[in-house]
Amino acid sequence: MTTRKISFTLNGEHKEFDVLPNERLLSLLRRNGFKGTKYGCLEGACGTCTVILDGKAVNSCLVFAFQVNGRSVQTVESLGIGEKLHEIQEALVSEGAVQCGYCTPGIVLSAKAMFDENPTPTVDEIKVQIDGNLCRCTGYEKILVAIDKVSKSHNQGGK
């Protein structure tokens, strides 16, 4: 199969990649070192590989790489650089919502996409947004509490 060159904005930077016609965005990211996007089911059912594409949380396993040509992709590598965690990460960590942590980057990005549109979602809105991110460790309780905490902090003028 022949490759084709595409270009898109990745975490705010203009990037060019050679992609195969059947390559998924998940595979493109991972083989280029963006390993924060994890592999879970490859069928859009677990949300582990969530990235933000033009402001929306999507499963990167269900997006062909060529489909992001000219668009904007955000991965977990853009959030919480170094010691300073993003507020969503900080809340998940401090509430004990990170157990094995494998689903966590996907949840961070699902929550980020939500907060970018609506800084103060209700508990029910959070549940709907995170419903596509499966977690087998936590029972979701602490994840919900953590994300709700971020929402409440925005409500109190935190952001």
Partner 1 sequence: MKPVTKMTVVNKPLRKIDSSALSQGKKLYTGDLAPEHSLYVKMLWSPHAHANIKKIDISKAEKMPGVKLVLYHENVPRIPHCTAGQGYPEPSPYDTFMFDKKVRFVGDRVAAVVAETPDQAEEAIKAIEVEYEILKPVFTYDEALADNAPIIHDEPEAFVPIPIPYEPKKNIVAKVGMKAGDFEKGMKEADFTFDELYETPYAQHCPIEGYISWAQIDPYGRIFITTSTQVPFHTRRIVARTLGIPVQKIRVIKPRIGGGFGCKQEMLLEDIVAIAAYRLNKPVLWALTRDEVFRSGRTRHPMRLRIRYGLKKDGTITAIGLDIINNTGAYGGHGLTVMSCAGSKVLPLYHVNNIHFNAISIYTNLPVGGAYRGFGATQAYFPVETMIDVMADKIGMDPMEFRKKNHIRSGEGHPAFEALGEGKPGTPMTIGSCALAECIDKGAKEIDWSKRLPHTEKTSRFRRGIGMSIHMQGSSVPEIDMGSASIKMNDDGSFNLLVGATDLGTGSDTVLAQIAAEELGTTLDKFIVYSSDTDMTPFDVGAYASSTTYLSGEAVRKTAEKVRQQILKVGQEILQKQGFSKKIEELDLHDAHVISLDGSCKVAFGDIANYSLYENNQFQIGAIESHITHKSPPPFTAHFVELEVDIETGHVKVLKYVAAVDCGTAINPQLCEGQTEGGLLNGISYALTEEYRFDEEGKMTNANFMTYNIFSMRDKPEIKTILVPSYEETGPFGAKSVSEVCINGGMPAIANAIYNATGARLKKAPFTQERVWRAIQEVKK
User: What residues line the site for partner 1 (CB under 8 A)?
Assistant: 30-31, 35-43, 45-46, 48, 75-77, 79-80, 83, 85, 89, 92-105, 108, 127-128, 130-144
- Measured from the CB atom, the residue of 63 and 75 that comes closer to partner 1 is 75
Rounded to the nearest whole angstrom, what is the least distance from the CB of residue 119 to partner 1 in the complex?
20
- Measured from the CB atom, the residue of 100 and 155 that comes closer to partner 1 is 100
- Measured from the CB atom, the residue of 4 and 157 that comes closer to partner 1 is 4
Rounded to the nearest whole angstrom, what is the least distance from the CB of residue 123 to partner 1 in the complex?
10
Helix locations, the chain, DSSP H:
25-31, 87-94, 104-117, 123-130, 141-155
DSSP 3-state assignment of 73? strand
Q: Which of 18, 23, 86, 10 is nearest to 51 (CA)?
A: 10
Q: Which of 88, 101, 81, 62 is nearest to 154 (CA)?
A: 88
Rounded to the nearest whole angstrom, what is the least distance from the CB of residue 45 to partner 1 in the complex?
4
Q: Which of 107, 6, 113 is nearest to 52 (CA)?
A: 113
